[in-house]
């Protein structure tokens, strides 16, 4: 299978997975919110979130392992692949244990001096914290196996596991409805059990399927570990900055407004995670080719793929996010029974920030491919983390809670500019070409979608209007993207995808 066809097949697999999992995940959230109530759901998002958000590390650190595995695949070096896998596994086990021990020591301080939780729910919150520590360890050990699957571009198995996880979470939601015990504690235990089962499935498949996933004939290589640790360490720094922003804002809102506001924040982040899932799905299909292109010393192709990733990442998010922003209050009423205060404005602002982030999402992969990530992670990670002091200042002077997302938006814009400048310095990116291939192609489709949504929401009143807004906007967006937003090579890629899809349907 050619690289282009492989990207197309993997993209189709991942978006098929997405169709199945997104609806299930959103419905599960509704059931869990109903079962736990706003207070307990807010506690889980706050306490469990401190740990569970660290599951994001597995994707970030999997990029490190996958980058080196893809590099050695390009060189046809099985020995190098085996060394990367074995040393990566050892490193992630140690890192996972160290992080878990450190967070375990923080438990007393967090619950006695820091978090604002009602006395009657502190015991349950501590149990959730401990179960999430176990989930974190399982997620860290899983990193090399995820990296191997992505490097081999075997995203079908990843999709199957993701569907299994989504259905399991739906099952957990039904269990919470049926039981009479403390639902928050049971939820924590069941989520930890799911993380363990997922790890076992990944391990069993990779050990059986891939030659490099073996501990036989390999040894600990200090030089390899240092190389992996340095790369993973800077990725970890960037990830921690992102998670520090996410969870730090939750803590700030908790300190100023209590746990109920964390329910609104958690729901907004649920929507945000589904939007990020769209571009992350595409990047999973493109990243191995971006990394391998750099391994082949084909910098031009690597940058071209990263620009395609940025443009299509924005399109994939905006086609849903733009009508969702206009119809957010109606969507939330349809989705949830009880909508916590500020949920609508939180969701609208965070979706806007995500669209902004997509403008340079491909450049993150390009910089990862070069292996020179120290400058990028230091500057961009530092800017992202500055969201917290700015948000604290806004809240301290008495501004409404949604100003935490205003700070989010401001710093995200600065991050976009920095990514472009750093890519120019490190990867010799042409800013002029980036403007032509990415920014210029976004203008007409975005304006057409905004105008379409504005007219419908202003002049049309009906039940389930959000379906009309989304459908008409998406159609307008698709037409203007093809007509005005794509280069010739990008149109060929779209036509190739449709041709391959039609052939499979006819079969």
DSSP-derived secondary structure for 377-401? HHHHHHHHHTHHHHHHHHHHTT--T
Distance CA 71, CA 86 (A): 16
Q: What average pLDDT does range 429-451 have in this prediction? A: 92
Cβ atoms 486, 494 nearer than 8 A: yes
Per-residue confidence (pLDDT) for residue 455, from 0 to 100? 93
Could you give the number of structural domains in the chain?
1
74 pLDDT higher than 80: no
Q: Residue 365 sits in which domain range? A: 3-506
Distance CA 284, CA 436 (A): 25
Chain length of the chain: 507
Identify the weakest region by mean pLDDT among 65-69, 249-253, 306-310, 483-487: 65-69
pTM above the 0.85 mark?
no
Q: What is the DSSP letter of 113?
A: I
**Virtual torsion, Cα 14, 19, 21, 27, nearest 10 deg:** 160
pLDDT digit string, tens, across residues 147-194: 888 777 777 788 888 888 888 888 888 888 888 778 888 888 888 899
Cβ atoms 179, 189 nearer than 8 A: no
475 pLDDT higher than 80: yes
Give the model's confidence band at 30: pLDDT under 50 very low, under 70 low, under 90 confident, else very high. confident
Q: Half-sphere exposure (CA, 13 Å, Cβ side) for 111?
A: 22
Per-residue confidence (pLDDT) for residue 240, from 0 to 100? 80
Q: Which string of DSSP letters, residue by residue, matches 334-393?
A: HH-SS--TTHHHHHHHHHHHHHHHHTTHHHHHHHHHHT--HHHHHHHHHHHHTHHHHHHH
3-state secondary structure 191-223: HHHHHHHHHHHHHHHHHHHCCCCCCCCCCCCHH
Closest listed residue to residue 320, CA positions, set 24, 22, 11: 22
Q: For the chain, how far is it from start to end, CA to CA, in angstroms? A: 18
């Amino acid at each position: 299978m050619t690289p282009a066809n492989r990207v197309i097949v993997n993209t189709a697999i991942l978006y098929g997975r997405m169709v199945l999992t997104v609806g299930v995940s959103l419905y599960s959230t509704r059931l869990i919110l109903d079962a736990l109530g706003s207070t307990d759901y807010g506690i889980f998002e706050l306490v469990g979130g401190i740990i569970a958000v660290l599951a994001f590390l597995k994707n970030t650190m999997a990029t490190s392992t996958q980058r080196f595995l893809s590099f050695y695949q390009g060189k046809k070096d099985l020995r190098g692949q085996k060394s990367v896998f074995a040393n990566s596994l050892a490193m992630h086990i140690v890192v996972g244990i160290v992080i878990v021990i450190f967070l375990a020591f923080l438990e007393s301080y967090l619950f006695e001096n820091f978090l604002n939780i009602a006395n009657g729910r502190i015991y349950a919150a501590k149990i959730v914290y401990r179960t999430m520590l176990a989930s974190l360890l399982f997620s860290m050990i899983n990193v090399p196996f995820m990296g191997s699957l992505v490097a081999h571009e075997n995203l079908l198995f990843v999709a199957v596991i993701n569907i299994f996880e989504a259905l399991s979470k739906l099952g957990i939601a039904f269990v919470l409805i049926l039981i009479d015990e403390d639902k928050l504690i049971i939820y924590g235990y069941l989520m930890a059990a799911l993380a363990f089962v997922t790890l076992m499935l990944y391990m069993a498949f990779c050990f059986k399927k891939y030659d490099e996933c073996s501990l036989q004939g390999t040894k600990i290589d200090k030089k390899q570990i240092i190389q992996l640790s340095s790369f993973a360490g800077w990725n970890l720094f960037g990830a921690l900055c992102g998670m520090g922003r996410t969870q730090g804002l939750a803590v700030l809102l908790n300190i100023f407004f209590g746990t109920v506001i964390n329910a609104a924040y958690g729901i907004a982040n649920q929507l945000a995670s589904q939007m990020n899932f769209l571009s992350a799905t595409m990047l999973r299909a493109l990243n191995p080719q971006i990394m391998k292109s750099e391994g082949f010393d084909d910098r031009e192709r690597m940058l071209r793929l990263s620009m395609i990733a940025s443009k299509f990442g924005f399109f994939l998010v905006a086609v849903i996010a733009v009508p969702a922003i206009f119809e957010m209050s109606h969507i939330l009423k349809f989705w949830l029974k009880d909508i916590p205060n500020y949920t609508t404005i939180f969701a609208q602002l965070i979706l806007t920030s995500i669209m902004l982030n997509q403008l340079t999402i491909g450049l993150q992969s390009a910089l990862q491919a070069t292996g020179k990530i120290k400058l990028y992670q230091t500057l961009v990670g530092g800017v992202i983390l500055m969201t917290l002091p700015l948000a604290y200042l806004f809240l301290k002077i008495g501004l409404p809670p949604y100003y935490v997302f205003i700070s989010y938006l401001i710093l995200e814009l600065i991050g976009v500019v920095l990514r472009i400048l750093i890519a120019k310095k490190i990867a010799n990116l042409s800013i002029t070409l980036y403007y032509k291939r990415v920014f210029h192609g976004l203008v007409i489709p975005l304006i057409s979608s905004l105008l379409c949504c504005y007219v419908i929401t202003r002049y049309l009143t009906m039940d389930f209007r959000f379906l009309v807004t989304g459908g008409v906007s998406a159609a307008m967006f698709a037409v203007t993207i093809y007509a005005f937003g794509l280069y010739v090579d990008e149109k060929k890629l779209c036509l190739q995808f449709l041709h391959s899809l039609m052939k499979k349907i006819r079969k």
